[in-house]
Structure formats: C-alpha cells, structure tokens
Amino acid sequence: MLTPVIQEEKTGCGIAASAAIAGLTYSQAKKVANQLGIDAADKTLWSSTTSVRCLLTALDKKVADETVPFTGWDAQPDCALLAVKWHLEQGVPFWHWVVFARDGTQAYVLDSKQGLKTHVRTDFGRMHPKWFLAVSST
C-alpha cells in the first residue's frame, strides 16, 4: 500500500501526489521539483500535466503521455494520477491531483488535502474524476 503524503502548501497537491507514488516525503519531492523549476505556487502544476509528468519522470516513474477520460473505477490502472474537482477559471482548466492505487483486490485513493480526517479514501461515489494519467515504475 502506498503511504499518503500531505501537501504542505495549499497548491502542493501535484508534489504530494508525486511524493506518494515515489515513496518520498513532501519535502524530498519538493526539493526535486524546485531543482526542475517546479514550484507549488505555479498554477501550471494544477492546470497542466507537464510539471507533474516531469517531476514523476525525475523520480524514476513512467507517466502516460496523454490523459485518458475517466470511465469508471474498475477501468483504472494499478497506479494513476486522477484529476478531481476539475473546473474552469477564466477559460483555463484547474483540478486537484489525487492518486489512485490498487494492491491486489484493494483499491483506494490517496488525497493530500490537509484538512481531511483520512487521506486514504474509498468513498469512490463522492469523487468525480475527469481523467487520469497512468503511472508505473521505469
């Protein structure tokens, strides 16, 4: 089972999700992100897939080149970044990154949002992903 990583910045969900997938702490992933020129305050971290894909690649993870529309939980790969809370702001899409993981028959979502009671979620009916990026080890 992957370990949840809590985002330390309001806009650090992409860094936290990457850290959880790579088995790192938030500060370790943030250090790598900053070395790549990626900062949590940069809106492209949650309005484009480029930054999080670059970070995961630097953390030795293979990330799909293209997003795949979400069609259901059973259709998810064993590890994926999901775009939830997808919305438009002045015509620009924004979302919150979460991690979907499946270990054998157990599926769960890691949500890095600070205020949650639990960061391992199985309340799939309450989450409404727009699309996902498959992630695997290189």
- Residue 137 banded pLDDT, cuts 50, 70, 90: confident
Q: What is the pLDDT of residues 75-120, one digit of tens each?
A: 999 999 999 999 999 999 999 999 999 998 899 999 999 999 999 9
User: Tokens standing for 100?
Assistant: 């979907």
Query: By CB neighbour count within 10 A (0-12 exposed, 13-18 middle, 19+ buried), where does 100 fall?
Result: buried
The domain defined by 13-137 folds into: Cathepsin B; Chain A (3.90.70)
Question: What's this model's pTM, rounded to 2 decimal places?
Answer: 0.95
The dihedrals phi and psi of 116, each to the nearest 5 degrees, come to -75, 145
The CA distances from residue 108 to 6, 19, 74, in Å, are: 16, 16, 11
